[in-house]
Chain A
Amino acid sequence: MIVAGIDVGGKNVHVVILKDGARAAQGASATGIQKAQAAERLYEETLRKAGLKREEVGCVVATGSAGKRVAFADACIADAAADARGVNRLVPSARTVIDVGAEEGRAIKISPHGKILDFAINEKCAAGTGTFVEAMAIALEMSVEEMAAISLKSSTSIPMNAQCAVFGESEVVSLIHQNIEKQDIAKAVHDAIAGRIASVARIVGLEKDIVIIGGMAKNEGFIDSLRKEIAMDIPDDPDFVGALGAAEAAAKGLLEEKVAVKVVGQEIVEGGEAS
């Protein structure tokens, strides 16, 4: 049985193809603005890498913030649901999943079977996401990778109070004007985002084992800061876990369950009205 999972996030798209339960191929690329096309392109490319043809794939499940844009997918599941399934496959003992991607930071409490028991998500704000780190890297005139590396050299703790990317950037600029070393500012940024993510995670409780996934799990600077607050594990290819979970969903025949049946609830009234 061949199935595929496609995770279309805010910045990147990831594809995982499973053949008889094993990973046959995987690929990642930038999403860009044309998300549907990016997903299509990467899917084709990953199929080629696996030596497979489209018609050989029995089921494709999409996920991610733009998952519903993948027109050729047979179904779309919520990103947290994909996370839960992916982590449950990789780390069956995991009970708390932290996923920090480009546009969302979330914590999920899962059962031994990968069922979502509770979740918390940073609300309508970039300050708990990879986008925040990216914006701060731009302010520091370096890449995210460079920023991660230099922050590890800092032993200074500078509080950053801004709770949003816009004010965060002006706070970074202000620190630059105070001649604070870039490595210290970089660490301050990572500490700030780690603190915010830890707060979100504490909402669902920090039941062990705790696993972190998503693109930010590859950011050493951020992980170093977060580890001061939470002891956690990082699976291999943490940014592919969503796509893997979507592929798992496809493999486990969840497709049928997800097909929406048209429903018309009988309206008791013509529509409620505000008090």
Chain B
Amino acid sequence: MVTYKTKGLDCWKRAKELRDRYYKDYKESPSRGGLRWEGGAWSFDAIPQALEGEVHGLSEEPYGASIAHDPELQVRYQEAAEGKWGCARDLCSYMRAYWGSVALNEYAFGGPWPHADFIFQNQICCCHSKWLQVADEIDGGTTPYFCFDVGVGPYDKIGDRQIEYVVAQLYDGIAFIERVTGRRIVEEKLIQNVYNTYRSNCYWAKTCELNQAIPAPLDEKTMFSLYVLGTLEKSSQAIADFYEKELYPEIKDRVANKIAAVANEQCRVLGDSQPPWGFLRIYRYLEQYGIVSVANLYTFSLIGWMKVDNNGLLVPYPTLEEQGITIKDRDHALRLLVEGELKGKLMWAPFYGATYKNDLVTKIAKQWRCDAAIIHLNRGCEGTAQHQMQLKIALQEMGIPAMTFEGNMADEREFDEGRVMRLIELFVTETLGLKKIA
């Protein structure tokens, strides 16, 4: 058996610092005269972050995932959402965890629930716009709220009409933010934020592309901790710099020097949807068989912008610098921002049909040289769980063994660990024919 060199990431500590600082800044912002806003990981944070003065956002999905990472906390928050607000268990489990946190007046990073000054949200999946509307109702119902629609079609159907539709809403959003905060959106900051957004998204995609190498320089469990920064504040200088100047060069170097994420890599698997956050040990278990999870549409493109090139291959979306574009003014910045999100965020495409999901994921399976697929049938996220069974069939038809297991990204009550491990073991040992290796 081949054994590769391996080592921890040099930039790991920096990634942790950025994340910790994000949640701390949100909490402490008012004490420094700063503003706070809530929105989704998919929201266009470049806009509210362009406000004059200090401003910090709280990104809803990663906050829900942070809660989910602690099984005791997640159940307490889920029960609070159900008990106090009677919310149904088939709703988004991130959302329920978030609502529970608000209902209990607890911030998962310490202290009472930090009220936002305004909400700036976009709507793509079935619950995003209602998520923060209800969260605010639980919190007292006084927070100014703005939501805009980005459900204008998949990446290959985006034209001027679709871009104009979203840009027009963003102008309304800017007027709203300036009105409710009494501060103005600074054009220079906005332009810089758009440059940064492109750098964060494109360099994460470039980093994911490097994982096509054998051995894979990154395993998916580690990638979870890296893509999160982009879901928090992709428009920030520090985060864009991290992706472009720290992570990407380091991973490039790992590929050049064949430094593996997992020393005994012998089988590369593809994942789908968010994982059950409280049970990431599944990935370590797989490593006992030399299995490395190397690819996942969600993990790649929640923030990573990609495109399908003329050869039908998935490639990173070009940065503004690579496109030779210099942003001229506010309008140009907004149009570029919208264009990047609508054309580059392939993650949204499966919302428009199984064909998109099958097409993109089978491309990933080929290009990232996956030997098998382990699909988490995620009861906690209806959006990402769409078409998963069709995907399984599509993968099997191209000769990739695939298994599914039921779970929930943020509600451990819907995850039977013993049973899931039994299924995975069955798949690994019987279907894939792998043995535990030293």
- B224 in the interface, Cβ–Cβ < 8 Å? yes
Q: Measured between alpha carbons, how far is A271 from B282 in the docked complex, in Å? A: 12
Nearest CB in chain A: distance from B75 CB, A: 15
- Give the residues from 82 to 131 in chain A that come closer than 8 angstroms, CB to CB, to chain B: 84, 115-121, 123-124
| One of A158-166, A175-183, A234-242, A260-268 at the interface | A260-268
Docked pose: A275 CA to B299 CA in angstroms = 10
- Given A78-B426, A272-B225, A261–B437 Cβ distance below 8 Å? yes
With an 8 A cutoff between CB atoms, is A56 at the interface? no
**In the complex, A269 has a CB within 8 A of chain B:** yes
| Chain A residue nearest in CB terms to B9 | A269
Stretch at the interface among B65-73, B130-138, B235-243: B65-73
Contact call B231/A275, Cβ cutoff below 8 A? yes
**Known A274-B69, A274-B277: A269·B12 in contact at CB below 8 Å:** yes
Stretch of B314-322, B349-357, B428-436 on the interface side: B428-436
CA of A78 to CA of B423, assembled, Å: 9
Contact B396 A268 (CB under 8 A): no
Mark B292-321 against chain A: 1 for CB-CB distance below 8 A, else 0: 000000000000000000000000000000
Judge if A257 is at the interface, Cβ distance under 8 Å. yes
B244 at interface by CB-CB < 8 Å: no
Are the CB atoms of A115 and B430 closer together than 8 Å?
yes
B8 touches A78 (CB 8 A): no
Q: How far is the CB of A255 from chain B (nearest CB, A)?
A: 12
Instruction: Tell me whether A117 and B228 are in contact in the complex, defined as CB-CB below 8 angstroms, given that A260-B436, A263-B288 are known contacts.
Output: no
Given A261-B437, A274-B68, A123 and B406 touching (CB < 8 A)? yes
Q: How far is the CA of A266 from the CA of B219 in the complex (A)?
A: 12
Of B76-84, B194-202, B257-265, the one touching chain A: B257-265
Taking a contact as CB atoms closer than 8 A, the residue among A117, A118, A258, A269 that contacts B8 in the complex is A269
Is B438 an interface position by the 8 A CB rule? yes
Which residues of the partner chain B approach A272 to less than 8 Å between Cβ atoms? 221-222, 224-225, 280, 283
Q: Is A148 an interface residue (CB 8 A)?
A: no
| Inter-subunit contact B6/A266 (CB<8 Å) | yes
Find A268's partner among B7, B228, B389 (CB 8 Å cutoff): B7
B262 touches A265 (CB 8 A): yes
Q: How many angstroms between the C-alpha atoms of A275 and B284 in the bound complex?
A: 18
Question: Which has the most chain B C-beta neighbours within 10 Å: A81, A258, A265?
Answer: A265
A20 at the interface (CB under 8 A from B): no
A123: chain B residues within 8 A (beta carbon): 406
* A123 CA / B433 CA spacing, docked (Å): 24
Q: Report whether B9 and A273 are in contact in the complex, using a CB–CB cutoff of 8 Å.
A: no
**Contact B430–A80 (Cβ < 8 Å):** yes
Centre residue among A78, A116, A262, A268 by max chain B CB count within 10 A: A268
A203: interface (CB < 8 Å)? yes
Given A119-B403, A273-B69, A274-B68, verify A265-B430 contact (CB < 8 Å).
no
Q: How far is the CA of A224 from the CA of B48 in the complex (A)?
A: 65
How many whole Å from B220's CB to the nearest CB in chain A?
A: 8
Chain B residues with CB under 8 A of A265: 262-264, 284, 287-288
- B45 in contact (CB, < 8 A): no
With A78-B426, A80-B426, A263-B437 given, is the CB distance from A268 to B224 under 8 Å? Answer: no
* Chain B, Cβ-Cβ closest to A84: B430
Q: Which residue of B lies closest to A273 (CB)?
A: B225
- Residues of A close to B429: CB separation below 8 A: 78, 81, 258
Listed residue (A116, A118, A274) with the most chain B CB atoms within 10 angstroms of its CB = A274
B359 at the interface (CB under 8 A from A): no
Partner of B396, one of A78, A118, A269, A274: A118
Q: Given the complex, which residues of B lie within 8 Å of A203, measured CB to CB?
A: 389
Q: CB < 8 Å: which of B9, B224, B280, B431 contacts A116?
A: B431
| Residue ID in chain A nearest B291 by CB atoms | A265
Contact residues in A for B65 (Cβ distance below 8 Å) = 274-275
Tell me the bound Cα distance from A84 to B429 in angstroms: 13
| Residue-wise interface mask of B (192-234) relative to A, using a CB-CB cutoff of 8 A (1 in contact, 0 not) | 0000000000000000000000000011011011011001000
B224 x A275 contact (CB < 8 A): yes
Q: Are A124 and B416 in contact (CB under 8 A)?
A: yes
Q: Is the CB of B419 within 8 A of A124?
A: yes
B-chain residues with CB within 8 Å of residue A81 when the two chains form the complex:
426, 429-430
User: Is the pair A275, B419 in contact by a Cβ cutoff of 8 Å?
Assistant: no
Once the chains are docked, how many angstroms separate the CA of A149 from the CA of B221? 53
Residue B383 interfacial (CB < 8 Å): no
Which residues of chain A are within 8 angstroms of B427 by Cβ–Cβ distance? 119
CB proximity of A188 to chain B, nearest CB, Å: 26
Cβ-defined contact, B9 with A268, below 8 A: yes
A116 to B231 CA separation, bound complex (whole angstroms)? 39
With contacts A78-B422, A81-B429 known, is A268 near B6, CB below 8 A? yes
Give chain A interface residues in 34-88, CB to chain B under 8 Å.
78, 80-81, 84
Question: B106 in the interface, Cβ–Cβ < 8 Å?
Answer: no
* Contacts A84-B430, A274-B68; A263 near B419 (Cβ below 8 A): no
A246 CB to closest chain B CB, in angstroms? 13
Contact A274 B224 (CB under 8 A): yes
- Chain A neighbourhood of B228, CB < 8 A: 273-275
Closest beta carbon of chain A to B251's beta carbon, Å: 12
**In whole Å, how far is B432's beta carbon from the nearest beta carbon of chain A?**
10
Q: Are A274 and B66 in contact (CB under 8 A)?
A: yes
Instruction: List residues of chain A with CB within 8 A of the CB of B52.
Output: none
Tell me which residues across on chain B come within 8 A of A117, comparing CB atoms.
401, 431
Measured CA separation A119–B430 after assembly (Å): 11
Cα–Cα distance between A159 and B264 once the two chains are bound (Å): 53
17 A-B residue pairs with CB within 8 Å: A78-B426, A80-B430, A81-B429, A116-B431, A121-B423, A124-B416, A261-B438, A265-B262, A267-B284, A268-B7, A268-B8, A269-B221, A272-B222, A273-B224, A274-B62, A274-B224, A275-B66
Extra A-B contacts (18), CB below 8 Å, given A119-B426, A120-B404, A274-B62: A78-B429, A115-B430, A115-B433, A118-B431, A119-B423, A123-B406, A124-B414, A124-B416, A124-B419, A260-B436, A263-B436, A268-B6, A268-B218, A268-B262, A272-B280, A273-B19, A273-B225, A275-B61
Question: Which 8 A-B residue pairs are closest in the complex by CB-CB distance?
Answer: A274-B69, A265-B287, A275-B228, A272-B221, A78-B426, A116-B430, A274-B277, A274-B65
